[in-house]
Amino acid sequence: MFVMLEALGNLEYSVEALAIEEKWNQLLAQAGYSQNPDHSICFPQALLSRIASYAFAGYQSIGCALSSKSSGAKTHDLFNEAWQRFWSDPTSYAEWEKKNRVAGLPLIG
């Protein structure tokens, strides 16, 4: 999860990364998870951060289009909107999704 959150930060989704991290931590707390003491020795955050940075640089170097909050690409922007709607109002999400499907596929799930 740390690497995913770092990647979101590299893509300028820091606000979204913080919201995801908060939800993730709530899930861990509710599940009664406690981190193995050896985890930080085996997977130091500095190393994981470098991995995320190298992955980001590699992705850019092969010419892949980076994600942005508003790319102008209908499907990409619709996925972003879907996540925002899902987290802000999960009870009405299913109805919104029915109205906004791309090629008949569900957006989330």
DSSP line for 24-81 = HHHHHHHHT----TTHHHHS-HHHHHHHHHHHHHHHHHTTPPPP-S--S-HHHHHHHH
Whether 79 has a pLDDT exceeding 80, the answer reads no
CB 54 within 8 A of CB 3: no
pLDDT, residue 49, reads 93
Distance from C-alpha of 71 to C-alpha of 69, rounded to nearest angstrom: 6
Residue 88 Cα to chain centre, angstroms? 15
Distance from C-alpha of 84 to C-alpha of 90, rounded to nearest angstrom: 10
pLDDT, residue 98, reads 82
Specify which of 33-37, 44-48, 78-82, 101-105 reaches the highest per-range mean pLDDT.
44-48
The 10s digit of each residue's pLDDT in 53-71 is: 999 899 889 987 777 666 6
pLDDT, residue 105, reads 54
The 10s digit of each residue's pLDDT in 5-48 is: 998 888 888 888 999 899 899 999 999 998 898 988 999 999 99
Whether 89 has a pLDDT exceeding 80, the answer reads yes
Q: Which two tokens stand for residue 18?
A: 């913080």
Domain ranges in the chain are 1-64, 68-109
Q: What mean pLDDT is predicted for residues 79-83?
A: 80
| DSSP code at position 102 | B
